[in-house]
Amino acid sequence: MKTFLFVIILTALTVSCSNRAKHVIYDSMHEYERQQCLKQGRDDCQRKESYDKYKQKREEEIKK
Residue type, 29: M
| Residue 35, CB-side half-sphere exposure with 13 Å CA sphere | 9
31-60 per-position pLDDT tens digit: 888 899 999 998 888 888 888 888 899 899
- Tell me which residue range forms the domain holding 43: 2-63
DSSP 41: T
Q: How many domains does the chain have?
A: 1
Instruction: Determine the pLDDT at residue 17.
Output: 60
Neighbours of 26 (CB within 10 A): 17
Of 7, 41, 47, 42, the residue nearest 25 (C-alpha):
7
Name the residue with higher pLDDT: 33 or 5: 33
Predicted local confidence at residue 1, as pLDDT: 67
Q: What is the pLDDT of residues 18-29, one digit of tens each?
A: 777 778 888 888
8 Å CB contact between 26 and 51: yes
pLDDT at 14: 62
Residue 16 pLDDT greater than 60, yes or no: no
